[in-house]
Amino acid sequence: MSAAVRRIREPAFVVREPRTLALGAVAGGALASGLPDEDHPGVVAALGALYPEWLGDRTFARDHGVRFPLLAGSMANGIASPRLVVALARVGVLASFGAAGLPLARIEAGLDEIDAALRGEQPYAANLIHSPAEPSLEAATAELYIRRAVRQVEASAYMGLTPALVRLACSGLHRERDGSIRRRHSLLAKISRPEVAQHFLSPAPATLLAGLVSAGLLTPDEANLAQQVPLASDVTVESDSGGHTDNRPLAAVFPVIARLRDAISARHGYAQPPRIGAAGGIGTPAALAAAFGLGAAYVVTGSVNQAALEAGLSPLAKAMLARADISDVAMAAAADMFELGVKLQVLKRGSLFAARSLKLWELYRDHACLDAIAPSERAFLEDKIFGRPLPDIERETLAFWAARDPSQVERAKSDPKQLMALVFRWYLGKSSRWAIDGDAARQGDFQVWCGPAMGAFNDWVKGSFLEAPESREVVQISLNLLEGAAVLTRAQQLRSHGVVVPSAAFDFRPRPLSHHPA
C-alpha cells in the first residue's frame, strides 16, 4: 500500500491557515495533529480518519456480513464465475454469481463450487433474473435458492413482480425476541425506473401473498410479516450500464429513487428503510466517489469485472474489452426478452453483433413467419449472420427447446412467428457463448455486455499495472477503486472546508495493494 494511501488513514487531519495545501498534504497528515480548540488559533477544520469501508452506509456491511460497501454485480451465463465470487468474498466484497441464462444443473454446480471454497465463512450472492419466456426456470431457480439457503439474491431485469420472486423474498421471515423482523433471504433488486422501484420499496402485494399461502408456498406468519417490511432490503439504481439498461444518467435518476424510498418508508413506518445503491458507469474512483456523494449506500461494479482474470469470459473477449473506449458501445436486441423488443448495451468495437441483432429484430417485427422473409434477406441471414442454412438452425433450435422447455416447442408448432423468434434467438444465445468460449471464427459476432464504464476504466489504468488484460485481478480492481474513492473523497472534504486543493489530488493512480482475508 502506498504512503499516500496509508497517510489517509491517520486519526485526524487538521487544517490550519493558510488554506492552500501542497499535493503531499492532501493525502496525509502533513499538518499538525490534534483537534481544534481555543488553544489552537488558526485551525479552521479537523477531519477524522477516512477508510474505504466507511464510504457508504455502514449497515450494508453489517447486515450482509462484508467489509466494504461494494457489490460485484452478476454477469449472466456464469461470467460472474464462482472463482470471481470466491476471490472477492475472501477480502470482504459481496459478489453475485451470474446464474442468469444457465440451466438449473449449472446453477447448482456453481453454488456447490462456491460453498466448497468458502465453507460458510464468507457471504456471497446469486442472481435471479426475470424470465418471462421461461417462468418455470425462474421458479425453479428461486426454489433452489430457498433450498440451498442462499442468503443474498440479486434480482435483475424485473418489470413487475412474479410469485417466484415474492416467495423467495418472503420465505423465512421471522420475528426476533427483540421484536425486530429478520430475513432469511435478502433481496438486492436492480432497477432503473421509479415505477419498477416502487414494487421493491413497498411490502409484497397482499394478493400475491394470499396466493402463495393458499398454494402452501408461504406460511400465514411469513405473509403477515411480509406486509410490514419492504420487499427488498436493498434497491440498486442502475444508470448507463452494460446489459439491460435505460441509459439514464445516475445523477438524474438516483435522487428520484431516493426520494421515492423516503416517501414510501414514511408511509409504511419501516423500522429499517431499504438502502439505495448505485450501478452503471462505475469504472473509476471518481465514479465511486460521485455515487457515494449522491448518497449511495453501496456501489455496484459490472463491466469492469468482465475483463478480470477470474471472469468466465475468454481471453479473446477480455482483450477486446481492454481496448474499448467510452464510445465503443451500442444497443442490441436482448435474447431473453427478444419478442418484447427489449434492448441491452454491448461492446461495439471489434464485433458486428449489435447491428446484426437489430437486423433480426426488424425482420421479426415486420414478418409473420420465416417463409414470409424475402429470398434475398434469407440469403443474407444464412451467409452473414447464421453461417448455415435456416432449416438446419430450425432443427437445432427445436431440439434444444425440446430438452430445456418442451412447452416452447409446442408454442412454436402452433405459432410460426414464435418459431421465427426462437430461430433468431439461436444467434443471440450463441453469440454470448462464442465470446465465453473464445471461438475465433465467430469473433465478429461476439456478444459482450459492456457499458461506458469499461472505456473509462481503460483510460484510468493506462500506464499502470492494471493496463494489461493478464494483470487484471478482480481483487486489485475492486480495492483500487475503493482506495481511490476514499482519496478523492478526502480531497473533496478538504476543499469543502475552504482549502485550495490542487487538481492532481483527484487523480488517484492504480497501484498494487496488499490485502488480507476478511
Residue range 240-299, pLDDT digits in tens: 998 888 889 999 999 999 999 999 999 999 999 999 999 999 999 999 999 999 999 999
Whether 15 has a pLDDT exceeding 90, the answer reads: no
Structural domains of the chain ordered from first start: 3-53+468-506 (no CATH), 54-313 (3.20.20.70), 317-447 (no CATH)
504 in Cβ contact with 490 (< 8 Å)? no
**β-pair partners for 174:** 182
Whether 164 has a pLDDT exceeding 80, the answer reads: yes
Q: What is the pLDDT of residue 49?
A: 76
Percent of the chain residues topping a pLDDT of 70 = 91
Alpha-helical segments (H) within 119-162: 135-147
**β-pair partners for 70:** 299
Give the position of cell 499516500.
Answer: 4
Cα separation values, 237 from 69, 193, 246, 254, 304, Å: 15, 8, 11, 6, 18
**Residue 157 vs residue 300, higher pLDDT:** 300
Q: What is the pLDDT of residue 405?
A: 87
Nearest to 166 by CA among 178, 153, 177, 175: 153
Average pLDDT, stretch 59-74? Answer: 97
Cα separation values, 254 from 51, 230, 237, 267, 274, Å: 24, 19, 6, 20, 14
**β-pair partners for 482:** none
How confident is the model over 326-356, as pLDDT tens digits? 999 999 999 888 998 999 999 999 999 999 9
Average pLDDT, stretch 194-215? Answer: 98
Q: What is the pLDDT of residue 40?
A: 57
**Burial label, 135 (beta-carbon count in 10 A; 0-12, 13-18, 19+):** middle
Cα separation values, 75 from 60, 91, 362, 473, 477, Å: 21, 20, 27, 16, 16
Whether 508 has a pLDDT exceeding 50, the answer reads: yes
Rounded distance, CA 190 to CA 245, Å? 10
Q: What is the pLDDT of residue 32?
A: 30
Q: What is the pLDDT of residue 39?
A: 55
Average pLDDT, stretch 216-220? Answer: 97
pTM of structure: 0.89
Give the position of cell 453469440.
Answer: 431
Rounded distance, CA 56 to CA 282, Å? 14
Q: What is the pLDDT of residue 43?
A: 66
Pairing of strands 234-238, 186-191: parallel
How does residue 45 score in pLDDT terms, banded at 50, 70 and 90? low
**Residue 28 vs residue 101, higher pLDDT:** 101
Rounded distance, CA 150 to CA 147, Å? 8
Average pLDDT, stretch 464-483? Answer: 96
Rounded distance, CA 35 to CA 14, Å? 7
Average pLDDT, stretch 419-427? Answer: 96
List the strands of the sheet with 329-333, edge to edge. Answer: 243-244, 343-347, 329-333
Q: What is the pLDDT of residue 132?
A: 85
Whether 65 has a pLDDT exceeding 80, the answer reads: yes
366 in Cβ contact with 456 (< 8 Å)? no
Give the position of cell 477503486.
Answer: 481
How confident is the model over 135-150, as pLDDT tens digits? 999 999 999 999 999 9
Residue type, 108: E
Question: Would you call 158 helix, strand, or coil by DSSP?
Answer: coil
Q: What is the pLDDT of residue 61?
A: 97
Beta strands in 334-435 (DSSP E): 343-347
Give the position of cell 439504481.
Answer: 237
Nearest to 13 by CA among 503, 487, 484, 483: 487
Rounded distance, CA 102 to CA 242, Å? 19
Residue 314, phi then psi, degrees to nearest 5:
-65, 150
Rounded distance, CA 14 to CA 61, Å? 29
Beta strands in 59-130 (DSSP E): 70-72, 94-97, 125-129
Question: Per the omega criterion (within 30 degrees of 0), is the bond before 273 cis?
Answer: no
Nearest to 182 by CA among 190, 171, 166: 171
Rounded-to-10 torsion of CA 475, 479, 480, 482: 140
Q: What is the mean pLDDT of the chain?
A: 90
